[in-house]
Amino acid sequence: MEHDKVEVEKLPMCDFCRIEDGVENPAQYDGRTIFGRWSSMCDKHFEKYGIGLGLGKGQKLVLAVNEDTNEYRTENKPNREVV
């Protein structure tokens, strides 16, 4: 099992974008920060505040997709998708 990547149905928002800039920006990473707590982070803030990837450090968030068709698995469709 990989420890540096996690599949999610929906990306959370970056905690730092919201706190520092007041904007909603999808997070690409979930990990421990230099402050010691875990946060959702976008690319920019992961570089700035993240301590790395791996067990106990951080994980890259990827949307769950079917590797063969490159489409969202039916049981994992993002909530925002309108049928």
Residues in contact with Zn ion by CB under 5 A are 14, 16-17, 42, 45
Q: Kindly tell me which of 42 and 61 has the beta carbon lying closer to Zn ion.
A: 42
Q: Write down the least CB distance from residue 62 to Zn ion, Å.
A: 17
Helical (H) or strand (E) element with 36: none
**How many Å apart are CA 45 and CA 16, to the nearest integer?**
7
Q: Write down the least CB distance from residue 75 to Zn ion, Å.
A: 30
34: which residues sit within 8 A by CB, 6+ positions away?
A: 49, 50, 51
Q: Write down the least CB distance from residue 49 to Zn ion, Å.
A: 9
